Structure 1
Amino acid sequence: MADHWNRVLLLGSLILPVCSIAVNGNISQNCSDFQTSSWRNILQRLDLNVQFMLLTRRNPDCARPINVNNDFQSSNFNGSLPTKLILHGYRMTGSKPSWVDTLAKELISAMDVNVVIVDWIIGSTAVYHSAVQNSALLGFKISTLIANFIAHGSTKDSFHLIGISLGAHVAGIVGHIFKGKLGRITGLDPAGPKFSKASVNERLDPSDAIFVEAIHSDSDCFGISEPVGHIDFYLNGGKDQPGCTRPILSSGLLERGGLSADEQPKEVKAYLMTSSDLPFCVKHFLVEIFLKQLGLHDQRVEITFLSNNHSNISNLQLTIPNKQSSERTVRKVIPYVRFGNMDAITIELLSSWRRKRHTIHIAELRVRELPLNDRERPPCCINNIVTDEKIFFGQFGNCL
């Protein structure tokens, strides 16, 4: 028996130093977590105190602190990968948003990406009006970080900003700074108070990124009812969701925010694209048409996308604006089975008894698979399309 306990003690003496090393190793990794805010912070009117935390597949459980002046090459940041930024919104009590860790881990599990969590708890706590005022400065700080990422190998279209509530409009500010060249913005229940009557320059809108989507789930309380993206999803009408209780402060906040009790969201319908065969899933592609010369009146066209054996796979009807319009880019989403199978298009000018066909001049027609962050599938293009015929045929090539 004595020998048995001697062996146990010996084993314990070997294990304890290893455990100590492991614990100290965790500490030495300098893992970050959200800051905490209090009324003392608010009364002292501290700086915005933004904190950026990086998660990757190399450190999925230990967020590493980064800042705009970091040498990113010494961190786990990889400029060749897509980058997701998570932005929380207004925090009444200064508590950590519980959903952020789960979302970050799901993103890392789904694909090899950089995930940056934006912690602005100090500037988003207690007084909503002050949080709104802080959003512009926060947008500038985030844009500075993104500019440094770009200097270390990232491309503008590889960024995906995911913002909830007030964070959705902060994402819009960042997108506006980059003139709409960032890849994607997802607005999760974008905030309504202070933004419902705001101009498009003051809130999230479709011009803030190449692709902007929004999910409305509380538009009769804290969320905005107006559409703010290229596509807006109104879950269960965009109002109260099954199983969710109405916040106690909802009526008072509605009164202070500029939302009226009888305000209704605009009707926006979202359609899910499917194929006719099992498993019915299709990929989605962004079609971008960059116009060069416009005619005297709008021109309806139908674009047919063809496979390499010239079979008809997908069709798109759209309107080319007239020369009075300030728009020079048309963006639409189409379903398609396989990207590599797309070979050519035909463009048919659709005339009517009221309007004759006229020449259209397209500088470039570009097709990219969504989401816009897979470098293994580069975009394909047809350049310098000039036609006044009923049918134009052109084959895809590399983009210039």
Structure 2
Amino acid sequence: MANHWNRILLLGSLIFPLCYITVNGNITQNCTHFQTYSWRNILQRMDLKVQFMLLTRRNPSCAQPISDSNDIQNSNFNGSLPTKLIMHGYRVTGSKPSWVDTLAKELLGAMDVNVVIVDWIIGSTALYHNAVRNSIELGLKIAILIGNLMSHGSTEDSFHLIGISLGAHVAGFVGRMFKGKLGQITGLDPAGPEFSKASVHQRLDPGDAVFVEAIHSDSDKFGISRPVAHIDFYLNDGKDQPKCSQHLLSSGLLERGGLSADVLPKEVKVYLMTSSQPPFCVKHFLLEIFYEQLGFHEQRIKIKFQSHSNASYLHLTIPKKQSNESTIRRVIPYDASFGNVNDVTIQLSSSWRRKRYPIHIEKLRIRELPLNDSERPPRCIYNIVLYREIIFEQLSNCL
């Protein structure tokens, strides 16, 4: 009899890791991990391999596979909750994207949602051209998954696709297959190579979802510079980020609310700045330059903003005489240690190959943001004529 029970216990110990179990109503199983890429994949010319990994508040650190309807049925997926799909982009070395876990954790901490991580490491590594080609097939597979999730209770408007780099355009491709009815797409630094001159049908576009936003953080290198969404956010002018050698990610992704599809703007550019240290928040002031006299070609000026202990610089292009513009507005960031701007130095920095023309600035005004801050009244400099010399002026309260 003892041998009989020993055999049952042994059999149970062998079967247990392979079976699904229910604990407190939660379905658990062996955790799914990112695929491991090998350079043999290039030599073997392996086809695109994709796996979909589900994280919820019931399993926030142990991903469940949901490749088909049977997997979905036996997972913690809840069709009554919103679903966030995270899609990484091109991978040079085949390593796991280090930011995915952090983003998934932040999403689950902020709201009760299904988080689906799209792992296409095998098809996104090594040759960029091949990754672009594979992205089309990837989009088809994601569309099939969304269809399966909808058969388990999800609705089109409950989906939020989050794609970085090449993954952003994959999100757009998926959205087009659903005729723009998916709830939201967030493009994190959408890829530039092979997409900068592509048509709206070949890249991320405002028509790909009810609400499309894009965050540009590397548009001078590998990211796209043109607007591709209803609202495009350009962090620090959309170019190199302070003390950041990789893509800057925002865990505080915008949520759709108070917005209607028939009143959404298209291709609106929004510029915001960050500091180089967490939490990356900075203060801002609005610089306004009202000018009268201009030259016969564009000229560049360099402005130095000086506080008691720090200095900040800004390069501006002054339009030519034929321009209809009469005002330049720029938002300038500064951290708390910068202090108040006391004086301004302006220098004409046009090329020596071109003749310099006098620039008459009627008024230069600096206003702290928000503009209704009564403790920091606007300050101005009036009647500046800039030619060859460097102009140094102290700010005073505006008249």
TM norm. shorter chain > 0.5? yes
1:341-356 to structure 2, matched below 5 A, reads none
Amino acid at match of 2:264: R
Counterparts of 1:177 and 1:209, CA distance in 2: 10
Amino acid at match of 1:160: H
**Counterpart of 2:323?**
none
Counterparts of 2:102 and 2:209, CA distance in 1: 25
Q: Secondary structure at the match of 2:30?
A: coil
1:331 equivalent in alignment to 2:264: yes
**Counterpart of 2:120?**
120
Counterparts of 1:185 and 1:66, CA distance in 2: 21
C-alpha contact (below 8 Å) 2:65/2:71 kept by paired residues: no
Q: Residue deviations 1:118-169, cap 9 Å, x none?
A: 0000000000000000000000000000001111110000000000000000
**Counterpart of 1:62?**
62
1:248-397 to structure 2, matched below 5 A, reads 284-289=257-262, 330-331=263-264
Amino acid at match of 1:244: C
Measured at CA, do residues 172 and 32 of structure 1 come closer, stay the same or move farther in structure 2, by a change above 3 Å? same
Q: Secondary structure at the match of 2:264?
A: strand
Q: Residue deviations 1:74-127, cap 9 Å, x none?
A: 211110000000000000000000000111111111111000000000000000
Counterparts of 1:91 and 1:220, CA distance in 2: 19
Q: Per-residue deviation at 1:46? A: 1.1
**Counterpart of 2:102?**
102
**Counterpart of 1:37?**
37
Q: Per-residue deviation at 1:68? A: 2.9
Amino acid at match of 1:201: H
Q: Per-residue deviation at 1:65? A: 1.0
Q: Residue deviations 1:240-297, cap 9 Å, x none?
A: 11002489xxxxxxxxxxxxxxxxxxxxxxxxxxxxxxxxxx99511344xxxxxxxx
Q: Secondary structure at the match of 1:52?
A: strand
Counterparts of 1:98 and 1:27, CA distance in 2: 30
**Counterpart of 2:53?**
53
TM-score (norm: length of structure 1): 0.57
C-alpha contact (below 8 Å) 1:240/1:246 kept by paired residues: no
Q: Residue deviations 1:345-380, cap 9 Å, x none?
A: xxxxxxxxxxxxxxxxxxxxxxxxxxxxxxxxxxxx
Counterparts of 1:80 and 1:149, CA distance in 2: 11
1:179 equivalent in alignment to 2:157: no
Q: Per-residue deviation at 1:177? A: 0.5
Amino acid at match of 2:203: R
Q: Secondary structure at the match of 1:123?
A: helix
Stretches of structure 1 that go unaligned for 5 or more consecutive residues are 1-20, 248-281, 290-329, 334-400
C-alpha contact (below 8 Å) 1:58/1:76 kept by paired residues: yes
Between Structure 1 and Structure 2, the one with more helix by share is 1
1:207 equivalent in alignment to 2:207: yes
Measured at CA, do residues 185 and 288 of structure 1 come closer, stay the same or move farther in structure 2, by a change above 3 Å? closer
Q: Secondary structure at the match of 1:70?
A: helix
Amino acid at match of 2:128: Y
Counterparts of 1:239 and 1:26, CA distance in 2: 49
Q: Secondary structure at the match of 1:286?
A: coil
Counterparts of 1:70 and 1:107, CA distance in 2: 26
Counterparts of 1:203 and 1:331, CA distance in 2: 19
**Counterpart of 1:139?**
139
Counterparts of 2:51 and 2:237, CA distance in 1: 36
Q: Per-residue deviation at 1:47? A: 1.7
Q: Per-residue deviation at 1:72? A: 2.1
Q: Secondary structure at the match of 1:201?
A: coil
**Counterpart of 1:150?**
150
Amino acid at match of 2:187: G
**Counterpart of 1:242?**
242
C-alpha contact (below 8 Å) 1:287/1:332 kept by paired residues: no
Measured at CA, do residues 48 and 109 of structure 1 come closer, stay the same or move farther in structure 2, by a change above 3 Å? same
C-alpha contact (below 8 Å) 2:87/2:168 kept by paired residues: yes
Counterparts of 2:83 and 2:40, CA distance in 1: 35
**Counterpart of 2:4?**
none
Q: Per-residue deviation at 1:183? A: 0.2
1:208-227 to structure 2, matched below 5 A, reads 208-227=208-227
Counterparts of 1:186 and 1:207, CA distance in 2: 13
Q: Per-residue deviation at 1:26? A: 11
Measured at CA, do residues 62 and 200 of structure 1 come closer, stay the same or move farther in structure 2, by a change above 3 Å? same
Residues matched between the structures, number: 238
Measured at CA, do residues 203 and 35 of structure 1 come closer, stay the same or move farther in structure 2, by a change above 3 Å? same
Measured at CA, do residues 288 and 85 of structure 1 come closer, stay the same or move farther in structure 2, by a change above 3 Å? closer
Stretches of structure 2 that go unaligned for 5 or more consecutive residues are 1-12, 21-28, 248-254, 267-399
1:84 equivalent in alignment to 2:114: no
Measured at CA, do residues 287 and 332 of structure 1 come closer, stay the same or move farther in structure 2, by a change above 3 Å? farther
